[in-house]
Structure 1
Amino acid sequence: MNYTQKFLFITLLLSSGLAYGQLTEDPEDRRDQGRDPLRTQTPEGRPLPFVQRLRFGGGINGFRFGNPFSIGVSPVIAYQATERMIVGIGGNYTYTRYKGYTNTGATVPLQTYNQYGGRAFVMYEFIPSILPNLYLHGEIENSTVDIKFDQTGQKLSDGLTSPLVGVTYSQPISRRFGVNLTALYNLNYNDNNLARTIYGSPFVLRLSFF
């Protein structure tokens, strides 16, 4: 390869790299200009593609050791609809096991709960100039609980649909990921066995990541 060919080859590489950088430019680059990155636009003002507005994550919920033992997962898919609004859907599954005691003090399986469901939510950043990243939060959650009485083999199933309202504070880690602390109030909470089984109280606290 002579000098002319080498020069053309290096020029081509540099040009390709520059073009690729322009095509993949991220709103995080706005930080170099002293401004926060936009959530739905490129630095040039073009709308971000649908995929780049999506967030994926979730959390672990209902975690308890001992009696009862409980653990749950709650995956989330969220979409940055506007600069201040996030909409999304999520699922949840929680496994809970209760044990009883015999006359000799030994533990035996007593009840097993399988709780599962889904939710749709919307979050709106309502006072960004005063408290950035604080969102009004509303959602509809549907939950079903399957209960098995281990000693008799009897099974029961019931469900509950609940509207929840409250606030979420989101601490961004990157443009498409953050730590979210949510406090909600269940508008459909009744002090009955099913509501106590699913929620425990009308107040719902969550820690999630998306």
Structure 2
Amino acid sequence: MKQLIGILILIFSCAVPLSSQTDSVYTGTKTPDLKKKDKSHPAWEDRITVGGNFQALFGNPTFIYVSPSIGYMVLDNLNIGIGMIYNYTRRDYGSAGKYSQSIYGGHSYARYNVTPSFFLQGQYDKLLQPDYYNYNNPSAKIWVDYAMAGIGYSQPVGERVVFNTSLMYNFTYSPRYSIYPSPLVFQVGVVGRIR
């Protein structure tokens, strides 16, 4: 193992000086100012995106869904990111009692803009939610995976903010454990660049 590390260090230490050698010839022209920023390649801070989804319904039932996210524009048309999910539901069944639950977890996503208005998206959620079928322990919770992919539409709201709607298919859908009533999942959210 030490020999392998030594060989790799030797290769990289030889490659760096060789690749940094340049041949220069004075042509009488002014050299470009390297301190000026190239507008075609934005700084890493300009590629950070923030946003998420929010849904709320008050009354009976009460439903609150919050999913903030942060992403990075790896390419001009490819955004990858991570986020958190929190879902609260409360329902009053009258004389039968009240029921409430909290579901939380995280998600990761990749969004590819096919055109400025249409995108493809893949998303993976991992949620800690009630185990509805554990009759011996009604407060038991389990981790459930949601692997989804689909299409979406972006509508600009300003110079740096877009309103997204997407329809995704949940490939890991199980009527027994899914929090969604069908494998088709509709999402609405906002995404913006911070600079």
**Residue 56 of structure 1: which of 31, 40, 50 is its match?**
50
* Structure 1 counterpart SS, 2:157: strand
Shift of 1:76: 1.3
What is the Cα deviation at residue 58 of structure 1? 1.6
The answer on 1:118 being equivalent to 2:106 is: yes
* Runs of 4+ with >6 A deviation: none
| Letter paired with 2:189 | S
Whichever residue aligns with residue 57 of structure 1, its letter is G
Q: Matches of 1:154 and 1:206 in 2, distance apart? A: 30
**Is residue 184 of structure 2 the alignment partner of residue 203 of structure 1?**
yes
Match of 1:82 among 75, 81, 105: 75
Structure 1 residue 162: Cα displacement: 1.4
1:1-210 correspondence to structure 2 within 5 Å: 42=39, 45=40, 47-61=41-55, 63-102=56-95, 108-109=97-98, 111-126=99-114, 128=115, 132-146=116-130, 154-192=138-176, 194-195=177-178, 198-210=179-191
Alignment partner, residue 19 of structure 1: none
Which ranges in structure 2 are unaligned for 5 or more consecutive residues?
Answer: 1-34
1:154-179 per-position Cα deviation (integer Å, ceiling 9, x unaligned): 51212210110101211223453211
Deviation of 1:70 (Å): 1.1
User: The residue matched to 1:52 in structure 2 has which SS?
Assistant: helix
Q: Secondary structure at the match of 2:93?
A: strand
Q: For 1:140-159, what per-residue CA distance to the aligned partner results, in whole angstroms no more than 9, with x for missing partners?
A: 111111479xxxx9512122
- Structure 1 alignment gaps of length 5 or more: 1-21, 26-40
Under a length normalisation based on structure 1, what TM-score does the superposition of the two structures give? 0.65
TM-score by length of 2: 0.70
Over the matched positions of the two proteins, sequence identity in percent amounts to 27
Larger RCO (CA under 8 A, 6+ residues apart): 2
Q: How many residues align?
A: 153
Q: CA-to-partner distance for each residue in 1:151-209, whole Å, 9 max, x for gaps?
A: xx9512122101101012112234532111111010011221x21xx112111111101
Letter in 2 for 1:116: Y
Counterpart contact for 1:55–1:177, Cα < 8 Å: no
Deviation at 1:65, TM superposition (A): 2.9
What SS does the corresponding residue of 1:155 show, helix, strand or coil? coil
